[in-house]
Amino acid sequence: MISREKTSMTNPLYDTVLGQRADSSAPLLHLPQGEVVSYADMAARVARISGYLRAAGLEKGDRLAMQCPKSPAALALYLACLHSGVIFLPLNTAYTPDEIAYFVGDATPKILVVDPDAHEALAPIAAKNGAKVLTLDAQGRGSFASAVADAAPARTPVTCSTDDLACFLYTSGTTGRSKGAMLTQGNLLSNAETLTTCWRFTDQDVLVHALPIFHAHGLFVACNVLMCAGGSMIWLNGFSVDGVLGALPQATAMMGVPTFYTRLMEDARFTRDIAGHMRLFTSGSAPLLAETHMRFEERTGLAILERYGMTETGMNSSNPYDGARRAGTVGLPLDGVALRVVDETGLEVPQGEIGMIEVRGPNVFKGYWQMPDKTAQAFHPDGFFITGDLGVLDADGYVTIVGRDKDLIISGGYNIYPKEVELILDDQPGVQESAVVGAPHPDFGEGIVAVLVADEGSPLDLAEIREAVAVKLANYKRPKHYVVLEALPRNTMGKVQKNLLRDAYADLFQPGAQRRPPASSVA
């Protein structure tokens, strides 16, 4: 990595991740068919796309939205937006046309790039909002590719500063209208450089890349960090056990979500022999169960490194590369990131007590697009961002996340933090994982509902679980109702969608309501 202090950069983020290696024949992507895309190859693709964007009338600060399959061409489009000063809006490939309509209407991109299969449904949405719609499939084919092929390359990046916007990422919107988080070049660059150093990435690293690139984890953490270091990626179209097992012997590192690791450990081929040479496994985007952490270490001899980030901030903390990677924690605040845990009055809580996590640093976003009131509500006057995550700081400075503020359950006037109950439930024989939510209760305000998933072939004895919980937890923290499901509802990044569980059991405790859960579960 070349320091910005030593190199004059007209476009800091682009220059750091690709521009300084634009003439390098070093590999960037190893594709499944055996093709290798070098840094120079990628830079040439980026120059041509950038030339097209400028010819199409996109200027610095304009927006481009993309909802298409993962491909080298999609990565090149992101990099071309950086090169051109265009604000990039990656959209989850699972979004429906109705959801896309909101994002396009709010961000008003000049171009919308979509999967050819979605063109018919999305073309009217683009037309209504004055956006040009182009197509790009998983093989890099489509009307976008055709248009770019005829463009004259733009070799010189548009001059940008670290304060210029690089992308919009929309929040999940589970508690209201989705908000467009405005991330600057400096936000993404600070995270890329900090993580490259923190996790010891170099140009000798080869990363297994099985994540999607419509999400911050796969794009801004995985891709930016590896390119910042000058390393390469084994580019998988998505996660599969066979694909990852085939890639591991040539790799040094892997970034994943907890589901990746639980599925790998279900396969007898995933052993110390195939994984023991790896330098680093990281996990994020959803909580990693302590049990998964410990099982993985027993199987491979390696400890997964868990970290903590969010849409508005990128990464905030990480377990150390050297030192204890503590199961159940998300490690220590990153260099340059100030993190505090406060009560409802804004005062820092004593060590070991639960409070709201707040952060400040170069990684923290600029604000919410066209929502000044929401932006003002999210920050304190001293610049600390209110994350909405509840956590604890221990004596050594390690952070443990106990849940979201909106997940807090108040029953009989007492605060119950779901994570505390879930840890007890996850410990019970036969329980693979759990999720605890509150449902409206006529007497207590909210009643606790415990949703359990059983280990395969292990029917759960709910009476025994109730007894064990009674020993471990005060009465007001004990679930009033148990449900067993085949699987917890999750989004595409593996996060449990507690809002769906709250909706499913909203009437559970109401007078006259049907007290049995949905047909797919048992009480």
The CATH fold assigned to 409-504 is GMP Synthetase; Chain A, domain 3 (3.30.300)
Residue 346 has pLDDT above 80, yes or no: yes
Q: Which residues of 493-508 are buried (b: 16+ CB within 10 A; e: fewer)?
A: bbbbebbebbebbeeb
pLDDT at 513: 59
Query: In sequence order, which ranges of 91-159 are alpha helices (DSSP H)?
Result: 97-107, 119-128, 143-149
- Nearest to residue 64, comparing CAs of 97, 88, 100? 88
Mean pLDDT to the nearest integer, 69-75: 97
pLDDT at 8: 61
At 99, phi and psi to the nearest 5?
Answer: -70, -40
Residue 410, token pair as written in the block? 């108040």
Confirm or reject CATH 3.40.50.620 for domain 12-186, answering yes or no. Answer: no
Q: Which residue has the higher pLDDT, 423 or 205?
A: 205
What is the residue-averaged pLDDT of the chain? Answer: 91
Q: What percent of the chain has pLDDT over 70?
A: 95
Residue 383, token pair as written in the block? 């610049």
Cross-sheet strand order for the sheet of 36-38: 36-38, 27-30, 232-235, 206-209, 253-256, 280-283, 305-310, 314-318, 332-333
Residue 482 has pLDDT above 50, yes or no: yes
pLDDT at 440: 86
pLDDT at 176: 54
Max Cα separation, the chain? 71
Burial of 321 (0-12, 13-18, 19+ CB in 10 A): middle
- Give the homologous superfamily in CATH for domain 239-405: ANL, N-terminal domain (3.40.50.12780)
Q: Could you tell me where the beta strands, DSSP code E, fall in 300-408?
A: 305-310, 314-318, 332-333, 338-342, 355-360, 367-368, 385-393, 399-404
Contacting residues for 393 by C-beta, under 8 A, at least 6 apart: 339, 341, 351, 352, 399
- Nearest to residue 258, comparing CAs of 207, 205, 211, 200? 211
Domain ranges within the chain, ordered by starting residue:
12-186, 239-405, 409-504
Torsion over CA: 225, 228, 231, 232 (sign): positive
Residue 289, amino acid? L
What is the spatial distance between Cα 98 and Cα 433, in angstroms, rounded to a whole number? 33
The CB-side HSE value for 226 (13 A sphere, CA atoms) comes to 27
- Same-fold call for 12-186 versus 409-504: no
Give ∠ CA 291-293-298 in degrees, rounded to 5. Answer: 95
What is the spatial distance between Cα 309 and Cα 317, in angstroms, rounded to a whole number? 7
Lowest mean pLDDT among 44-48, 412-416, 431-435: 412-416
What is the spatial distance between Cα 361 and Cα 313, in angstroms, rounded to a whole number? 9
The string of pLDDT tens digits covering residues 353-391 is 999 999 999 999 999 999 999 999 999 999 999 999 999
pLDDT at 512: 64
Residue 244 has pLDDT above 90, yes or no: yes
The string of pLDDT tens digits covering residues 162-193 is 999 999 999 864 445 789 999 999 999 999 99
Residue 514 has pLDDT above 70, yes or no: no
Residue 242 has pLDDT above 60, yes or no: yes
**Rg of the Cα atoms in the chain:** 24
What is the spatial distance between Cα 129 and Cα 122, in angstroms, rounded to a whole number? 11
The string of pLDDT tens digits covering residues 428-470 is 999 999 999 999 887 777 889 999 999 988 889 999 999 999 8
DSSP letters spanning 471-510: HHS-GGGS-SEEEEESS--B-TTS-B-HHHHHHHTTTTTS
pTM score over 0.85: no
The string of pLDDT tens digits covering residues 104-124 is 999 999 999 999 999 999 999
CB atoms near residue 93 (< 10 Å): 17
- Nearest to residue 341, comparing CAs of 350, 331, 332? 350
The string of pLDDT tens digits covering residues 215-240 is 899 999 999 999 999 999 999 999 99
**453-459: long-range contacts, CB 8 A cutoff, minimum separation 24:** 453/484, 453/485, 453/486, 453/487, 453/488, 454/430, 454/484, 455/430, 455/431, 456/432, 458/429, 458/430, 459/430
The pairing of beta strand 399-404 with beta strand 409-411: unpaired
